[in-house]
């Protein structure tokens, strides 16, 4: 139902209540009451039109009942009722013309300017007609001739006065409505602009990738944007919490440091995150003062910086290793050959033979280290890269790996399906990476423990994960896991496996992540980007 029609219905009911109050209290204040029969008929007319229009508009039984038609029905009914009351009362009731004025004023709210003047004319006709035909005495007195009253100067004066009043009210009301509509249009445009700016502000704040908190003087959080909740991994609403409980590090800072940007580490749900923060004093209004806290999660950026620094360090080590390896290789060959010659020249003796075997064994071990170094430091060749489906490469590798005696001691479970996109990789180097990862898992796990390999898509990269439930690593071991010659368990390895893995993944523009916990196992995940032209046809 139209709200404006409902408002008019309520207003008419209110006016009717005032008339009823006038009927009841009139005798006590010197106002003659209306005849009961006439007042009853008038009341029924007002209530009937109210309920009829309400019924039609709510039930939508008459689809042609428009808003303006319903307004006209109610206004004409009101004018008729006022004329009937004016005609029936025995004496003059000076308040009745006021109700005509109310009808004209109310029509201004809902009708056009011309319609308002028309309402004023109809009101005047009703009022003047009653003056002409109203009985002189009582309700049952026959109608007097209007010809004498028409020429009566008092009737003409009263009618002329009310004509001026009705049209003045219509004129002033129309002017005020025009001013009101103009101001309302300006206010509406201003409100729309304010709403638009408020919507933009909300979208900016809510879509801001950085966390945003507002706090009051008591350091209580009054607002937190969605990014703040995500960065802090909070399952609860941050609003209402103490800012120093959200960021305990702020308790340790001096006021001087709080005025500039600073960075710090903080534990969030059991893991450490790096934060960058800026705090600004803000005054929301004349009385409310607080702070605006803007912070970012720098963990990934710090990891990238560490990876870049580590890559530079590994590149420097690789260059040094290559030079040293080439310089050592020739002397080692000479030593190995000399030992063999000496062994053939000197007489056989158990002690001498044992010493020569030790020298030969260590020489071979050094030669193996040199060869591993050369593999580690060997420049990659882009012409050896191929567009391949990693699912096929991993599946083929597992068929070979399951035949290895050490790998056969552990059940290998593979989860994956053919990739929708291909990757540009060196198949031999990728196989070398997988051998290193699966052998590390076998060495870290007890015999019979399961090893899982998973292949999946992660955005623009393919993810290969090797997971075991072995001994795991400590935080210090993880920090140095890619450093050459780092060995954490007994075995034939030289501590270069993960360094080679890291170097190969870097050459493929990928990245590697290690998720481990001491005595609970390790998961190593490598990410290899899909080729731009690697979509499967």
With residues binned 3-state (H G I as helix, E B as strand, rest as coil), the percentages for the chain, rounded to 5, are 60, 15, 25
Q: Please tell me the predicted confidence (pLDDT) of residue 357.
A: 82
Residues 224/213, Cβ–Cβ less than 8 Å: yes
Q: Please tell me the predicted confidence (pLDDT) of residue 29.
A: 60
Of 82-86, 426-430, 508-512, minimum mean pLDDT range: 82-86
Q: Which residue has the tokens 């210090």?
A: 476
For domain 382-529, the CATH architecture is 2-Layer Sandwich (3.30)
Segment 100-123 shows an average pLDDT of: 86
pLDDT at 74 over 80: no
Segment 82-87 shows an average pLDDT of: 76
Average pLDDT in the chain: 79
Alpha-carbon distances, residue 27 vs 22, 91, 138, 425, 459 (angstroms): 9, 12, 18, 105, 87
Segment 341-353 shows an average pLDDT of: 78
Which residue spans of the chain are classified as CATH 3.30.565.10? 382-529
**Winning range, highest mean pLDDT, from 112-116, 302-306, 316-320:** 112-116
Segment 516-536 shows an average pLDDT of: 83
Which residue spans of the chain are classified as CATH 3.30.450.20? 211-297
Q: Please tell me the predicted confidence (pLDDT) of residue 142.
A: 39
Segment 513-532 shows an average pLDDT of: 91
Q: Please tell me the predicted confidence (pLDDT) of residue 377.
A: 58
Which residue spans of the chain are classified as CATH 1.10.287? 303-377
Segment 134-146 shows an average pLDDT of: 43
pLDDT at 399 over 60: yes
**Winning range, highest mean pLDDT, from 20-29, 317-326, 475-484, 492-501:** 475-484
pLDDT at 47 over 70: no
Given pLDDT bands bounded at 50, 70 and 90, which one contains residue 339? Answer: confident
- The domain covering 211-297 belongs, at the CATH homologous superfamily level, to PAS domain (3.30.450.20)
Of 289-293, 346-350, 384-388, minimum mean pLDDT range: 346-350
Q: Please tell me the predicted confidence (pLDDT) of residue 468.
A: 94
Residues 437/410, Cβ–Cβ less than 8 Å: no
Q: Please tell me the predicted confidence (pLDDT) of residue 524.
A: 95
**Backbone dihedral angles phi then psi of residue 412, each to the nearest 5 degrees:** -105, 120
In three-state secondary structure terms, 526 is strand
Segment 521-528 shows an average pLDDT of: 94
Q: Please tell me the predicted confidence (pLDDT) of residue 139.
A: 34
Given pLDDT bands bounded at 50, 70 and 90, which one contains residue 484? Answer: confident
pLDDT at 24 over 80: no
Q: Please tell me the predicted confidence (pLDDT) of residue 523.
A: 95
In three-state secondary structure terms, 205 is helix
DSSP secondary structure string, 296-336? EE-HHHHHHHHHHHHHHHHHHHHHHHHHHHHHHHHHHHHHH
Consecutive H or E run containing 427: helix 427-444
pLDDT in tens, 171-219: 998 898 888 888 888 898 999 999 998 888 888 888 888 999 999 888 8
pLDDT in tens, 221-272: 999 999 999 999 887 888 889 988 899 888 877 666 666 788 899 988 888 8
pLDDT at 140 over 70: no
Pick the CATH number of 303-377 from 1.20.120, 1.10.10, 3.40.190, 1.10.287: 1.10.287
pLDDT at 449 over 50: yes
pTM equals 0.47
pLDDT at 163 over 90: no
Burial, 266: exposed, middle or buried (Cβ in 10 Å; 0-12, 13-18, 19+)? middle
pLDDT over 90 for what percent of the chain? 19
């Amino acid at each position: 139902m139209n709200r404006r029609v409902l408002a008019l219905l309520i207003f008419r009911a209110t006016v009717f209540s005032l008339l009823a109050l006038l009927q009841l209290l009139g005798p006590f204040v010197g106002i003659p009451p209306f005849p009961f029969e006439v007042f009853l008929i008038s009341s029924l007319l007002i209530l009937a039109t109210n309920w009829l229009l309400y019924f039609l508009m709510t039930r939508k039984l008459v689809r042609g009942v428009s808003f303006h038609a319903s307004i006209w029905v109610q206004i004409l009914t009101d004018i008729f009722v006022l004329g009937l009351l004016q005609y029936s009362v025995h004496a003059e009731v000076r308040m009745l013309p006021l109700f005509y004025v109310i009808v004209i004023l109310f029509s201004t709210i809902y009708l056009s300017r011309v319609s308002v003047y028309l309402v004023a004319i109809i009101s005047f006709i009703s009022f003047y007609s009653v003056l002409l035909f109203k009985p002189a005495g009582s309700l049952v007195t026959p109608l007097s001739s209007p010809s004498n009253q028409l020429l009566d100067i008092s009737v003409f004066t009263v009618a002329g006065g009310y004509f001026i009043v009705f049209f003045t009210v219509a004129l002033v009301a129309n002017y005020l409505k025009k001013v009101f509509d103009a101001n309302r249009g300006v206010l509406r445009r201003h409100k729309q602009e304010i709403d638009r700016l408020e919507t933009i502000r909300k979208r900016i704040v809510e879509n801001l990738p950085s966390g945003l908190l507002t706090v009051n003087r008591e350091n209580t959080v009054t607002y937190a944007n969605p990014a703040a909740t995500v960065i802090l991994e909070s399952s609860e609403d941050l609003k209402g919490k103490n800012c120093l409980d959200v960021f305990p590090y702020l308790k340790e800072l001096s006021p001087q440091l709080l005025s500039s940007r600073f960075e710090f580490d903080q534990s969030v749900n059991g893991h450490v995150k790096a934060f960058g923060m800026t705090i600004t004093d803000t005054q929301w209004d004349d009385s409310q003062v607080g702070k605006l806290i803007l912070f970012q999660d720098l963990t990934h950026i710090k990891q990238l910086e560490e990876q870049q620094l580590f890559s530079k360090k590994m590149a420097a080590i690789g260059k040094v290793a290559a030079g040293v390896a080439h310089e050592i290789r020739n002397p080692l060959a000479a030593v190995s050959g000399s030992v063999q010659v000496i062994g053939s020249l000197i007489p056989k003796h158990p002690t001498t033979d044992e010493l020569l075997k030790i020298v030969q064994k260590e020489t071979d071990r050094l030669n193996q280290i040199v060869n591993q170094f050369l593999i580690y430091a060997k420049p990659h060749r882009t012409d050896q890269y191929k567009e391949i489906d990693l699912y096929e490469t991993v599946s083929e590798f597992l068929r070979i790996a399951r035949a290895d005696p050490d790998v056969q001691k552990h059940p290998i479970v593979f989860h994956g399906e053919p990739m929708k996109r291909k990757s540009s990789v060196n198949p031999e180097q990728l196989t070398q990476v997988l051998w290193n990862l699966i052998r590390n898992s076998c060495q870290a796990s007890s015999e019979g423990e399961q090893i899982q390999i998973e292949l999946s898509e992660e955005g623009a990269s393919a993810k290969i994960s090797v997971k075991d439930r072995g001994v795991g690593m400590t935080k210090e071991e993880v920090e140095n896991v890619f450093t050459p010659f780092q060995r954490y368990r007994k075995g034939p390895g030289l501590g270069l496996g993960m360094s080679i893995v890291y170097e190969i993944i870097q050459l493929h523009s990928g990245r590697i992540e290690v998720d481990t916990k001491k005595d609970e196992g390790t998961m190593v995940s490598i990410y290899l980007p899909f080729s731009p032209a690697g979509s499967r046809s």
